[in-house]
Amino acid sequence: MFTEASNFAAGVDQAFKIIFGISIFILIGITTVMITFVVKYRRSKHPKAEQIKDNTILEITWTLIPLAIALLMFYYGYTAFRPQRDFPKDAMNVTVVSKMWAWSFVYPGDKESDVLVLPLNKAVILNLTSLDVIHSFYIPAFRQKEDCVPGKVNQMWFIPTMAGEFWVLCAEYCGMNHSYMEAKVKVVPESEYKAWINALPKKAAEPEGLTIIKKNACTGCHSIDGTKLVSTSFKGIYGKKSIVLTEGKEHTVTVDAAYINSSIFEPDKDIVKGLPKGVMKSYKGIVRDDEVSKIIEYLKSIK
């Protein structure tokens, strides 16, 4: 349940234990005193209240002690965190690419994978990027989290200290399938990692149409491999017949250039049966006309 699988995890957990330990002591202490007072000085047993004067020394004491505790907790939180920001010079770099609602990992040599495979006991720096909105790269077992902010590159680093598979989750709300935006980290012995990275093919130059589709996050709802996501998959879509609702009336259309064009710019005109109105926004002013023809070309190619 609370696996400690990175070099930072034990330090973070230590800070948790200190803070929780002191907190539980304070909570139980104050609650006990309070309940004792309520029982002991209940009106039936203690009909006349004593009017107690203020006590400056007592008040200064219970200001300074919490202050000291607060500073102590701050200190532990800070010292466990500080090394997380001292990036090692010789670590390997992996770029994390996030988009609605998937992770991908780009290794040196332009090799891409959707599983983050890492060598055991080797420092790694992750460069966190986003193609659309803010996501947050979170590996609970590593106690690590940092946001992927579009337009900038955030970093995190760690050393995986336990072999195995761990979850990568998205912690910053990013739209409809936020809770399904997950991936796996696979920590393996270095020899196994080397074999894996060597076998990983170079990222093939992708058709321009696909780049445009990915850039606009179309693949968040429309898969390109036939999987049903929110809407119809793009695989084999060109030339297919589709039942749509136009102003509430059901009829069949053939997916051709004109239909694709209107689907991109006026998605609410013909709505695919079974989908709510407004689920897709208009890409007017976002996708250019010449890009549309490249998209169409690409869609023709994936049968």
Partner 1 sequence: MAEAITHSYLENTGRYKGILAWLTSTDHKRIGLMYMYAMMVFFIVGVLLGELMRLELFRPGQQFITAQTYNGVFTIHGIIMIFTVVIPGLAAVFGNFSMPLLIGAHDVAFPRLNLFSWYLYILGAAIALSSQFMGNGPPDTGWTFYAPYSIQTHTNVVAAVFGAFVLGFSSILTGLNFIVTIHRFRAPGMTFFRMPLFPWSLYATAWIQVLATPIVGITLLMVIAERWLRIGFFDPSLGGDPILYQHLFWIYSHPAVYIMILPAMGVITEIIPTFAQRRVFGYKAIALSSLAIALVGYFVWAHHMYTSGMSITARWVFSLLTFLVAVPSAIKVFNWVTTMYKGSIAVKPPFLFALGFIILFMIGGLTGLSLGSLATDIHVHDTAYVVAHFHYIVFGGVGFAFFAALHYWYPKMYGRMYNFKRANIAFIFMFVGFNLLYFPQFVLGLMGMPRRYFDYLPQFTLGEQISSIGGFILLVGIIIMLVNLFSRKGGKAPDNPWGGTTLEWSIPSPPPHENFDKLPVITGEPYDYE
Identify residues 262-291 at the interface with partner 1 (CB under 8 A).
Answer: 276-282
Residues 5-24, one symbol each (x = binds partner 1 by CB under 8 A, - = not), give: ---x--xx--xx--xx--x-
4 counts as binding partner 1 under rule CB under 8 A: no
Instruction: Find the binding residues for partner 1 in span 225-264 (CB under 8 A).
Output: none
47 vs 201, beta carbon nearer partner 1: 47
Helix (H) or strand (E) holding 30: helix 9-40
17 vs 240, beta carbon nearer partner 1: 17
Backbone φ and ψ of 302, nearest 5°:
-100, 95
Cβ neighbourhood burial of 118 (10 Å; 0-12, 13-18, 19+):
buried
Rounded-to-10 torsion of CA 198, 201, 203, 205? 140
48 vs 228, beta carbon nearer partner 1: 48
Q: How far is the CB of 173 from partner 1 (least distance, A)?
A: 4
- Choices 50-58, 157-165, 201-209, 246-254; region in contact with partner 1 by CB under 8 A: 50-58
User: Could you report how far apart the first and last alpha carbons of the chain are, in Å?
Assistant: 44
- Choices 28-36, 87-95, 200-208, 295-303; region in contact with partner 1 by CB under 8 A: 28-36
Question: Of these, 21, 42, 189, 206, which contacts partner 1 (CB under 8 A)?
Answer: 42
Query: From edge to edge, which strands make up the β-sheet containing 144-148?
Result: 116-119, 182-188, 164-170, 135-139, 144-148
Q: Binders of partner 1: how many residues, by CB under 8 A?
A: 85
Instruction: Find the binding residues for partner 1 in span 69-98 (CB under 8 A).
Output: 70-71, 73-74, 76-82, 84-85
Instruction: Find the binding residues for partner 1 in span 170-199 (CB under 8 A).
Output: 170-180
Tokens of residue 281, six digits: 């926004």
Residue at 85: amino acid letter: R
Helix (H, G, I), strand (E, B) or coil at 102: strand
Nearest to 261 by CA among 235, 295, 233, 286: 295
Q: Compute the half-sphere exposure of residue 141: CA atoms within 13 Å on the CB side of its CA.
A: 17
